[in-house]
Amino acid sequence: MDNKQEKIMEMLNNPYIRAFCEKHSLSASYLLEHSSSFEACYESISRCRGCKGLYTCSQEKSGEILTLVYDGEAYNDITYCPYYLNKLKKDKQINSFIRNDIPDNYSDVYLDNISLPDNDTENLCALCYDILDGKREKGLYISGDLGVGKTYMCIALANSLVRKGEKVAFVKSNYFVNEMRKLIAENSSEYAETIDKIKKVKYLFIDDIGSESVSAYSRDDLLFNILDYRMENKLCTVFTSNLSKDSLMKHYTFDKNDNSSVIRARRLLERIDILSDNFVLQGKNKRRG
């Protein structure tokens, strides 16, 4: 047996090529006569052995695999590996976020693949599904102790909405306030454009509201501006916080000797009340196991 024939037998031992030949009743002699297409496919498939992701891809073009097609004659076609397809899905998901403060390691968290350790979490999940399925327009104000799963549940809902094709903004309150404060001084047009997108997005998540440093700017110029627009236009808004709404009211009344501070805090909380129903998430700190 010469080297060419040995190569043909080696290729026929490959499960993909063997199944292809059996499906189309192709003999070893056919492979010998049309070896170039089969060899290109075999070499491409072989490069995928032991692959751990696109960062280790050894194909000529990352994520592209040469396969075989038969329509009276065998020839090569291009398909894409699961890692590449998953990257496309994630890129599409990322592009559907107007703003995305979700950590990368939570990008695959959805309502249909999360753990529901207790009845309280299950009840919250049901409300999240109501939002996902368009059964409720009003958002949620999810409060509770540290680590009980408030942000986790909101991430699952946000990702699920994006997977459905909805436009979403997920903002971490303290990061957002600090970035906007800096941006307004550096680029007023970009600032105005960013605020406009955030206040008009169909679904807005404000995570950990009340964690930001309180000032007249953050309370009145930024948050009130966004939430007032969303209230007037009945846009779904979801909040998480370690503070109850009563505690949040005290938090935003940062100058208790100034009567106008009380009024402005009350105006902000009124918008939050109109935009969201309370849900207190009970449970143990899951970050500590």
Beta strands in the chain (DSSP E): 64-70, 74-80, 97-100, 139-143, 168-172, 203-207, 236-241, 276-280
What stretches of 101-149 show up as alpha helix (H) in DSSP?
119-132
Domains in the chain: ranges and CATH: 3-80 (no CATH), 89-288 (3.40.50.300)
Q: Quick check: helix, strand or coil at residue 65?
A: strand
By the 10 Å C-beta count (0-12 exposed, 13-18 middle, 19+ buried), 2 is classed as: exposed
* 133-137: long-range pairs with CB below 8 Å, 24+: 137/234, 137/236
What global pTM score does this model have? 0.72
What stretches of 34-149 show up as alpha helix (H) in DSSP?
35-47, 82-96, 119-132
In this structure, what token pair is assigned to residue 58?
């050894």
Q: How far apart, in Å, do the first and last CA atoms of the chain sit?
A: 63
> What is the residue-level pLDDT of the chain in tens, covering all 289 positions?
567 778 888 898 999 999 999 999 999 889 888 889 999 999 999 999 888 888 888 988 888 999 999 999 999 999 988 888 787 777 666 677 999 999 888 988 999 999 888 888 999 999 999 999 999 989 999 999 988 999 999 999 999 999 998 999 999 999 999 999 999 999 999 999 999 999 999 999 999 999 998 899 999 999 999 999 999 999 999 999 999 999 999 999 987 667 788 999 999 999 999 999 999 999 777 665 5
